[in-house]
Amino acid sequence: MAWFVLALLIAASVFAIILYNALVKKRQMVEEGWSGIDVQLKRRANLIPNLVETVKGYTSHENETLQSVTELRAQGSALPQDDVAGRARVEGALSQALGRLFALAEDYPDLKASQNFSNLHQSLDEIEDAIQMARRYYNGAVRNLNVAVESFPSNLIARQFRFEKAEYFEIEDEADRAVPRVTF
């Protein structure tokens, strides 16, 4: 009888260790996913000053749009890295402002014809696509972690070791969900 109880305790301990390690792996995948989003957002933030300067050279009276893009870029950079909801809100507004910036280029044929502007626009499109892929990966990792944190029996281990649900990287405003696409 003592051997049976001992075997049962060992089996339960091994099962708890397996669940704990699975939770750690899922948490690491969420952190890796967020890192991927952060890298792409930084790439976009680094591209924006070049884009703004290029547009400034062709437009002299469109300061409101340019200032909005610059301010939103600064807001996004100033937010703490773990503020997922705040970053999603600011990045969505930045996407809208960039859309207005590209729409503005329609009124300036010389700007549209500029190779520098065209290259920056193409780079930004590529970064937007990379952000979307990183967001999908991150949200998938968040889903897996949240399911594990809430599901029995892993929720017992999660509660014991203070694993918490992660926050999805979502855009709240439907208008922000559309990636600006402008063809020249």
* pLDDT tens per residue across span 53-87: 888 777 766 778 888 888 998 888 888 888 888 88
Question: Cα separation of 7 and 90, whole Å?
Answer: 54
Residues 6+ apart with CB under 8 A from 149: 23, 155, 158, 163, 164, 165
Structural domains of the chain, ranges and CATH numbers in brackets: 20-177 (1.20.1440.20)
pLDDT, mean over the chain: 87
pLDDT of 137 reads: 97
The answer to whether the predicted template modeling score (pTM) of the entire model surpasses 0.95 is no
Q: Tens digit of pLDDT for each residue in 28-59? A: 999 999 999 999 999 999 999 988 888 877 77
Q: CA 40, CA 35: separation in Å to the nearest integer?
A: 9
Stretch 6-33: mean pLDDT: 96
Average pLDDT of the residues in 131-135: 94
